[in-house]
Amino acid sequence: MEKGIELSQHLLDGNQEAAWQILDEERKAGKNSLYIYESLVTNAMRHIGYLWETNKITVADEHLATSTCDFLLARYLWQKQRDLDAPSIGKKAMFLCVENEQHYLGLKMSSQLFSEGGWETRFHGPNLPLEYVKKAALDWKPDAICISFSILYHAEHLEPYIKELEKLPNRPAIIVGGRLLDKYEFSRHGSERTLFIKNLEGVKDWLDRHPHGVKSSVGY
């Protein structure tokens, strides 16, 4: 059985240990995080999404799979940080979904790639209204703010989020991601400074090109 499909079944069963064994085997075989996130976790969750869209599973099944996957990602990061012990680069990044957006696993995987790269991260998760994003950003002063959305009509939130966050005094990099960026063009919602990244491979490429973080005084 293809491992992504096998993983999806364990997630639907809520079987944390069986799901972990699949990821751990690939980790021990030398597969990197990008492979594990894209080829295993993302493929598994896409299959689960397909099953939900075709009424083969219920909302309860999908929620169980999501919570099991959330645990799996946290365990993987804990293990990866033990293996790598990556030094801090002295940069900070916030991660959040726009208001009413509940899909956050892709964003979580992005935050974990940042963590592996030595960034200090704060993962705020789904459905964070702009007023609270601004307050958190003003208090913490991140070097990058990463925003995600997965539902097309949630794109209407992008422009006010980007406009307000790019005006913050410390001028953080504003990075927008989500599965829809592969299908649609959203650059009109941002500015020349806004960075739109289509997938986890793009996140990893950006991190590799910015090994010491970003300078808040320049454009992106």
Residue 160: CATH number of its domain: 3.40.50.280
Residues 82 and 115: beta-carbon distance below 8 Å: no
Q: Are residues 184 and 139 in the same domain?
A: yes
Q: Are residues 143 and 201 in the same domain?
A: yes
Q: Are residues 65 and 109 in the same domain?
A: no
Mean pLDDT to the nearest integer, 52-81: 96
Residues 214 and 173: beta-carbon distance below 8 Å: yes
pTM, entire model: 0.92
Alpha-carbon span 124 to 110, nearest angstrom: 13
pLDDT one-digit tens code per residue, 72-90: 999 999 999 888 877 899 9
pLDDT score at 210 = 83
Mean pLDDT to the nearest integer, 18-45: 96
Could you identify the residue written with the tokens 């293990």?
A: 79
Mean pLDDT of the chain: 93
Domain encompassing residue 125: 92-209
Pairing of strands 144-148, 173-177: parallel
Confidence of residue 34 (pLDDT cuts 50, 70, 90): very high
pLDDT score at 219 = 39
CATH code for position 61: 1.10.1240.10
Q: Are residues 98 and 16 in the same domain?
A: no
Mean pLDDT to the nearest integer, 51-63: 96
Asked if the model's pLDDT at residue 31 lies above 50, the reply is: yes
Q: Are residues 60 and 100 in the same domain?
A: no
pLDDT one-digit tens code per residue, 177-220: 998 888 888 988 989 999 999 999 999 999 999 877 776 444 33
| 196 domain residue, yes or no | yes
Instruction: Count Cβ atoms within 10 A of the Cβ of residue 216 and give its class: 0-12 exposed, 13-18 middle, 19 or more buried.
Output: middle
Q: Are residues 126 and 161 in the same domain?
A: yes
Mean pLDDT to the nearest integer, 30-53: 95
Count of domains in the chain?
A: 2
Q: Are residues 109 and 196 in the same domain?
A: yes
| 48 domain residue, yes or no | yes
Query: Of 58, 84, 110, which residue is a domain's last?
Result: 84
